[in-house]
Amino acid sequence: MDFQTLRDNCPTWQDYIHHEFVNQLATGTLPKQSFQHYLKQDYLYLIHYTRVMALSVYKSDTLAQMRVGQAGINAMLDLEIGMYLEFCEQWDIPLEEVENTPESPATIAYTRYLLDAAMSGSLIELYAAIAPCLMGYGEIGQRLKAQGFVDNNPYQPWIDVFASEEFQQVTAQNEAFVNELFAGASPAQQPKLQKLFNTASRMEVNFWQMALDLS
């Protein structure tokens, strides 16, 4: 069992990676309100996601596993959330507004699903649930770079982050770690891991759709 197997057997992976939100982002045609809605909801998502990473430390058996969780927490607090705060400033959304934004149903569903998987499951199960988040944006960044960028895209700074060498390296490191972990899964565990992965991928699709629908 490895990440690639989970990805290839996931019925909604392509819907996630090629979602209309991503296409409009790539062509620069995404309505500004959709991007602002996404930014606010993703900030809220990342706060909960950091709590999931903290649970990964709690569920770890070895120091090496704990350090991966620790690096994940640092990456969230110092890089991704920091970047979103900068974007919010650029897109005229005060921090107070971001923090006081009510969570959308799609945000609640996805974050609480991850937290439940993290609290009730093993470390392997936790990583099966967060693998779409860990690796999906890396794949999107790589794809958008490969297809070529359009000129004067207001969303280019967001694309640049996920297409960057730095982010691609983090994605590759995550994939290697996850594969090491999944290699220890027994055949009996595999359906559960696939189910966790599939559900989280569906939640990613809902998350993009929430931003398009402003729901």
**Binding residue for ligand NSP (CB under 6 A) from 43, 137, 155, 167?**
137
User: Which residues within the stretch 166-205 sit at the binding site for ligand NSP (CB under 6 A)?
Assistant: 204
> Which of the following is catalytic: 133, 139, 165, 180?
133
Report if residue 45 touches ligand NSP, rule: CB under 6 A: yes
**What single-letter DSSP state applies at residue 10?**
-
Report if residue 43 touches ligand NSP, rule: CB under 6 A: no
Contact predicate 2/193, CB 8 Å: no
Buried b (16+ CB within 10 A) or exposed e, 45-55: bbebbbbbbeb
Question: Long-range contacts for 140-147 (Cβ within 8 Å, ≥24 apart)?
Answer: 140/17, 140/22, 141/167, 141/168, 142/168, 143/17, 144/22, 144/26, 147/26
Nearer CB in complex with ligand NSP: 104/153? 104
Phi-psi label, residue 152: left if phi above 0, alpha if psi -120 to 50, beta otherwise: left
Report if residue 207 touches ligand NSP, rule: CB under 6 A: yes
Report if residue 87 touches ligand NSP, rule: CB under 6 A: no
Whether residue 86 lies in the annotated active site = no
**Binding residue for ligand NSP (CB under 6 A) from 42, 43, 118, 199?**
42
Q: Is the dihedral of CA 185, 187, 192, 196 positive or negative?
A: positive
Nearer CB in complex with ligand NSP: 91/190? 91
- The CA-based diameter of the chain, rounded to the nearest angstrom, is 51
Stretch that binds ligand NSP, among 4-12, 39-47, 149-157, 172-180 (CB under 6 A): 39-47
Closest CA to 201 of 73, 9, 48, 16: 16
Whether residue 103 lies in the annotated active site = no
In whole angstroms, the minimum distance from the beta carbon of 93 to ligand NSP comes to 16
Stretch that binds ligand NSP, among 40-48, 51-59, 150-158, 177-185 (CB under 6 A): 40-48
Which residues are known to be catalytic? 133, 204
